[in-house]
Amino acid sequence: MRKRWMRLVAVADRWRGAAADSALWGGCVALVAWEVGGVRAAPTIEVAAVAAVLAAAFALRRRRPFAALGLALAALVAQVVAIALTLTSTLALSYAVACAVLAFSAGRRSDRTAPVAAMFATAALATLMAYAVNWIRVGDARETLTGVTDWAGGLAALAAIMLAPWLLGRYRRRHAELRTAGWEIAERMERARDLDAERARLRERARIATQMHDSLGHDLALIAVRAAAVEMAPEDGGTREAAAGLRSAAHDANLRLRKIIGVLHEDADAGTRNGAEGEGDLAALVDRAVRAGLDVRLLREGADPDPASPAGRAAHRVVEEALTNAARYAPGAAVTVRLVRAKGATRVRVSDTGSAGAAAPRGPAVRDGSGLAGLRELVEGRGGGFSAGPGTATDGGVRGFAVAADIPDSAEPPPGTGPEGTETARRLSGARRSARRRLAAALTVPPALAATAVAAGFAVLAYVGTHTVLPADDYARLRVGQDRAAVERELPRFDYPARDLVDPPPAPPGSTCRFYLVEWENGLPPVYRLCFAEGRLAAKDRIARG
């Protein structure tokens, strides 16, 4: 039943799409027929040809959007080429409507830019070649430069007709993708909500168990130190007290082990509270190690960090793990704990002198196991720095081991761990940036191209106009009867077209005349007329207009 329903929906979508294409085709053809019927003497053949081309274009616009755009653009370019070759003189603007519609459709359906760039360049070259053929046929430099201006204006119009709708279609496509991506992300987050919560609880339990494991390891290391002291002590009354202390320490370690087992069966919140228990200040931690028999010295600069703060707990774990390593791997060594508070950070350094009578091993530190790896992850996860390695260089070689950590008071997660570093956030941010770029391109690229073309056209017109002016002094030096070659050496590069003059005075019989501007200004400035006959200047006069 579900498959049948999906087939029905697909058929309905196809029919709806076909109806929309037919309506667009009918509207564009009707507009062309209405406009061409008013400007062409025999519009039937042209309208029929355009209707056939647009029928193929709208049939292809969903599967082959760039082919559809190419057909509509070809019809528009063919009309411009006909005008450039003076086969017709009227441009039907309705051709541009279908081109704009199909350009928008192409932008909606594809991200490719190469086909559009190729079509724009082909259209520009085709019209330029048509204008070039006409310029060569006319052979007039002024007409050539005026045609360049017309061609540049045509490029600006083409940018508005094709590029602007295409860029708006691309923006619309990216905006739709952004909206769809948002719903997909919301659905995925809703499905994964319970799983994420369970993972968070598991991570919290693992973190608490790691903390308690480190604390238990510290207690066991102190028990080992006390046991060694009892083993080496003489048999007197002090031995009984040492054994009692050893029993008490073992009992505390057993209780801590029960907490570790219990926290793995509790909720994350309860585990957090249990994990925080037993974390006192650093002075108490060092004092407990001294009572166990370690030779520890505590050096402090500034106030101790708050034991309940994340930075204080991290510093406590660094010192605890370093003392545990010293008790395990360097029995009898002197240990120095240096704690410095400055500039919103806590700097911790724990160093020992190594085992009595033995140099510390060279190369990678043998103590860099899971405990130190966990410390590195903890400190660097808060945006701090961590190092562990051989200690102080002496005459007998490098001795001892040192652990150093720089812990900021405010946590700064490493890149990629915060919400802004997730794949979802990166995808959403990238889609938004792309949509903004495409909207900016749609709003700026066509106007920029049009402004460039208009500026180039005005520059060409200004160049032609200023080189059509015959200075008054040069005109005064010309004499009727003067040799034509000598006169032409004084003339400007371009002459003024005679067709722009309305009812000029009659020219002398058998002569040909040229016209030049008296001055370059807007409106209808006066012109000079120079008429030549039989290779000489036959007449010159000044014609006022206005």
Helix, strand, or coil here: 98?
helix
Tokens read off for 127: 């019209």
Residue 532 pLDDT > 90: yes
- Would you list the DSSP string of 368-396? -SHHHHHHHHHHHHTT-EEEEEEEEEETT
Q: What is the 3-state secondary structure (H, E, C) of 471-517?
A: CHHHHHHCCCCCEHHHHHCCCCCCCECHHHCCCCCCCCCCCEEEEEE
Tell me the pLDDT tens digit for each residue of 423-440.
666 666 776 777 677 677
Taking only Cα atoms into account, the Rg of the chain, rounded to an integer number of angstroms, comes to: 45
Beginning with the edge strand found earlier in the chain, give each strand of the sheet holding 334-342 in spatial order. 295-301, 334-342, 345-352, 397-408, 385-394
Tokens read off for 11: 């058929």
Torsion (CA) 65, 71, 72, 73 in degrees, nearest 10:
100
Tell me the pLDDT tens digit for each residue of 377-432.
888 888 888 998 886 645 455 578 899 999 998 765 555 444 445 566 666 677 67
> Percent of the chain having pLDDT more than 70?
70
| CATH numeric code, 467-543 | 3.30.1450.10
Q: How far apart are CA 458 and CA 148, in angstroms?
A: 11
| Nearest residue to 154 via CA among 82, 234, 243 | 82
Tell me the pLDDT tens digit for each residue of 50-87.
889 989 988 888 889 999 999 999 988 888 888 888 77
CATH 3.40.50.2300 assigned to 295-414:
no
232, burial (CB in 10 Å: exposed 0-12, middle 13-18, buried 19+) = exposed
Tell me how many degrees the CA angle 330-333-338 measures, rounded to the nearest 5. Answer: 105
Domain boundaries, the chain: 2-191+436-458, 295-414, 467-543
pTM for this entry? 0.44
- Would you list the DSSP string of 134-195? HHHHH--HHHHHHHHHHHHHHHHHHIIIIIHHHHHHHHHHHHHHHHHHHHHHHHHHHHHHHH
Torsion (CA) 533, 539, 542, 544 in degrees, nearest 10:
-60
Tell me the pLDDT tens digit for each residue of 483-514.
999 998 889 888 888 877 878 888 888 889 99
